[in-house]
Amino acid sequence: MKNILITGASSGIGETIANLLSQKHDVFLSGRRELDKVNYYSCDLIDSFSLDNLYQKAVEYFNSDIDILINCAGQYVYKKIEDMTIDETTYLLDLNFKSAYILSSLVIPNMKKNKWGRIINIGSISGMVGEANATLYSATKSALSGFTKALALEVATDNITVNQINPGWVDTPLANVLDESERQEVIDVTPQKRFVEPIEVAKLCEYLISDSAKGITGQNINLCAGLSIGC
Predicted local confidence at residue 182, as pLDDT: 85
Q: What is the DSSP letter of 192?
A: T
Predicted local confidence at residue 230, as pLDDT: 73
The tens digit of pLDDT for each residue in 10-26 reads 999 999 999 999 999 99
Predicted local confidence at residue 78, as pLDDT: 87
In terms of Cβ atoms closer than 10 Å to its own Cβ (0-12, 13-18, 19+), residue 196 is buried
Do residues 20 and 210 make contact, with C-beta atoms less than 8 angstroms apart?
no
Predicted local confidence at residue 178, as pLDDT: 77
Q: What is the DSSP letter of 95?
A: I
Predicted local confidence at residue 156, as pLDDT: 98
> Which domains occur in the chain, in start order?
3-226 (3.40.50.720)
Q: Which of 76, 91, 137, 207 is catalytic?
A: 137
**Assessment of whether the complete model's pTM goes beyond 0.85:** yes
Predicted local confidence at residue 107, as pLDDT: 98
Do residues 198 and 142 make contact, with C-beta atoms less than 8 angstroms apart?
no
- What residues of the chain score a pLDDT lower than 70? 177, 231
Question: Would you call 41 a catalytic residue per the annotation?
Answer: no
Predicted local confidence at residue 19, as pLDDT: 97
CA distance 220 to 216: 10
